[in-house]
Amino acid sequence: MSRSKSSQRWLKEHFSDPFVKKAQAEGMRSRAAYKLEELLERDRLLKPGMVVVDLGAAPGGWSQQVRRQMGDKGRVLALDILEMPPLAGVEFLHGDFRDEQVLATFEGMLGGQGVDLVLSDMAPNKSGVDAVDQPRMMYLAELALEFADNHLKPGGAFLIKLFHGAGFDDYVKQMRRRYDKVVIRKPEASRKRSPEVYALGQGKRAQIK
């Protein structure tokens, strides 16, 4: 079956992308690793010995980037409903974190440790219809926010991918009630035509305002 023109255009763009080439050359699992690299460095989010949780981690580019930057200090826990090949120094839990049993397993893995940083690069499978895709995206974002509410320790940070559209402004307001500082970032590796941005909350408050 021949590929559509849009499919051919995407493939051409993908394989000529400098971040795709960089990921292949450096052995990174995805070009998304470079979005996170910029965000981590710009806002100095990592410190030795931190406990970092990566929600929706597969294929592992973000976890790989965190592990690379932290060296052998601290912990990286990755969760996904999809399978993910093992990564050295990354503790992976396969399952849906909405499931009570999966959540109990995750909490057992923590062993009482507090979480310093929650990352979420989750996104739904796109249908191409904004009226369908945006509510799905915001649903995932709400789940991640609730996860951070329950597991991130006071003073911790939360970084999440969002799409501009319905519900975006209200979500950012929710973050501002929970964190001392909230900023919106668009890293260089994020394609300009993409509606994605990253919201970063720093300094989790002990109580929601």
Whether the predicted pLDDT of 11 surpasses 50 = no
Least confident of 21-30, 57-66, 150-159, 164-173: 21-30
Catalytic residue positions, numbered = 161
Say if domain 32-204 classifies as CATH 3.40.50.150: yes
For 37-76, letters b (16+ CB in 10 Å) and e give bbbbeeeebbeeebbbbbbbbbbbbbbbbbbeebeeebbb
* Cα–Cα distance, 104 to 110 (Å, whole number): 10
Query: Is position 60 annotated in a ligand binding site?
Result: yes
pLDDT digits (tens, 9 = 90+) for 63-110: 999 999 999 999 999 999 999 999 999 999 999 999 999 999 999 999
Query: Is position 10 annotated in a ligand binding site?
Result: no
Element containing residue 78 per DSSP (H, E):
strand 75-80
Amino acid at position 107, single letter: E
pLDDT digits (tens, 9 = 90+) for 100-139: 999 999 999 999 999 999 999 998 888 878 888 999 999 9
Query: Is position 170 annotated in a ligand binding site?
Result: no
Domain spans, the chain: 32-204
Radius of gyration of the chain (CA): 17
Query: Is position 128 annotated in a ligand binding site?
Result: no
**Looking at the DSSP assignment, which residues form a beta bridge with residue 162?**
197
